[in-house]
Amino acid sequence: MYRPAGSTCGAPPVDCATCPLGPTGRYGGRVGDWAAVVLAGGAARRMGGVDKPGVPVGGRPMRDRVLDAVADADVRIVVGPAGPVPPGVRSTQERPPGGGPVAAAAAGVSLLPVGTTTVALLAADLPLLTRDAVRLLREQLADPTVDGVCLVDGDGRRQQLCGVWRVAPLRAAFGRLASARGGSLGGAAVRVLLAGLTVRDVPWSGTGPPPWFDCDTDEDVRRAEGWTR
């Protein structure tokens, strides 16, 4: 593996020439122990190909509502097509563009500063996500026997892109999967990435609308809009 001198990148063990992050893997923001990576890619075919993260719910883009839920993170990174992001938020894009959520997550995680111990991996279409829900996940991750925690929906289904993870085992999982796929994470399934990790499913018992609710269709957006009124 080639890695330039002075790089502090924690990316999967692939050649830096083909790494989604370029040769340095460095994030220029403040250093802290937890971060959030918001995945804002995807074709949104079920919604006619719109910029789904930019669709407003309650008067604000869904992506910005997710970023609000992690406003106290030391580092916030949006991964997806180029576009405006709020002040203090870093943006990048997976390579190849449209490579899917695993490639996007790897691109975001590999930008984290040395010393970051936990990271929230969140889809950008979770307009009802709250700081309380994220706090619950972080509290559940205090158990040293688990690698990550995810909210589950009302039927007990794991919401894989609504979770908080320990950075070290997550990076190791990216590395294993990249090695198994010849160095590429494009098109990889999230469930395969997480298969070797110890994951705790966390039901939501708080008040208010379900923070795990994701918007895949126009009807989902209308439902979320109703909850915000």
pLDDT digits (tens, 9 = 90+) for 43-78: 557 666 678 999 999 999 999 999 999 999 999 999
CA-CA-CA-CA dihedral for 80, 146, 113, 110, to nearest 10: -40
In a 10 Å sphere around its CB, with 0-12 CB exposed, 13-18 middle and 19+ buried, how is residue 201 labelled? Answer: middle
pLDDT digits (tens, 9 = 90+) for 136-182: 999 999 999 999 999 999 999 999 999 999 999 999 999 999 999 99
Average pLDDT for 81-85: 84
Average pLDDT for 102-116: 96
Using omega within 30 degrees of 0 as the cis cutoff, is the peptide bond preceding 96 cis? Answer: yes
Average pLDDT for 122-142: 97
pTM for this predicted structure: 0.85
Q: Are 199 and 152 in contact (CB under 8 A)?
A: no
Share of the chain above pLDDT 70, in %: 83
Average pLDDT for 23-48: 67
Q: Which CATH class is domain 34-227?
A: alpha beta
In this prediction, residue 103 has a pLDDT band, given cuts at 50, 70 and 90, of very high
In this prediction, residue 8 has a pLDDT band, given cuts at 50, 70 and 90, of very low
Q: Compute CA distances 154 → 54, 128, 209, whole Å.
A: 26, 14, 11
Q: Are 186 and 143 in contact (CB under 8 A)?
A: no
Domain layout of the chain by residue ranges: 34-227
More confident residue, 209 or 24: 209
Average pLDDT for 204-212: 92
More confident residue, 82 or 24: 82
193: which 2 tokens? 């990435």
CA distance 71 to 122: 13
Residue 163's DSSP bridge partners are: 121, 150
